[in-house]
Amino acid sequence: MSYTKEQLIWGLLRIALGWIFLWAFLDKIFGLGFSTSPAKSWLKGVSPTSGFLKFATKGPLTHLYQALAGHPAVDWLFMLGLLLVGLSLVLGIAVRLAGISGIILLALIFSAKSLPPVNNPILDEHIFYILVLFGIIFTRAGRWIGLEDRWDNSALVKRLPFLK
């Protein structure tokens, strides 16, 4: 297949951002020793959200997020979000749904730890990733180095178009 430079860049941005989500999932579930030590992995029974929500939250929503720390439903939603957004973006399937879900997840993380912003008063990495996700959604970047066209033409998506 032949892509323009812009298409190639958007396809690579989609895959790279998908890998960021997917890597966070893998590190938290297996404790690969980067952000999560093996002893604190989800497979060892440690909540993937409790440390962050108990100790890293700040700002006006601190009490709300601290109250959610360690709840199994929050852990499952967080981990499934990381996995599904990551896989969808890497593969280029359900990119619109993954993009919207990723924007919501990143906005929640931003509101939990960056209100007010710490390192830069205008832009932090969560907002940057949100902007990239908007670009991925609006350019339909799953078509480039991805499976979006096949996915969109599948019987499942034709029956359930919200899966685009």
Tell me the pLDDT band of 88, cut-offs 50, 70 and 90.
very high
Length of the chain: 164
pLDDT in tens, 137-164: 999 999 999 999 999 999 999 999 999 8
pLDDT in tens, 92-139: 999 999 999 999 999 999 999 877 777 788 888 999 999 999 999 999
Structure tokens at 61: 């929503």
CA distance 37 to 84: 23
Whole-structure pTM value: 0.93
Average pLDDT along the chain: 94
CA distance 59 to 116: 6
Q: Which residues contact 24 (CB under 8 A, 6 or more apart)?
A: 35, 82, 86
Please determine, for residue 23, whether its predicted confidence score (pLDDT) is greater than 80: yes
CA angle, residues 87, 140, 155, in degrees to nearest 5: 70
Q: What's residue 115's pLDDT?
A: 78
Give the up-direction half-sphere exposure of residue 68: CA atoms within 13 A in the CB hemisphere: 20
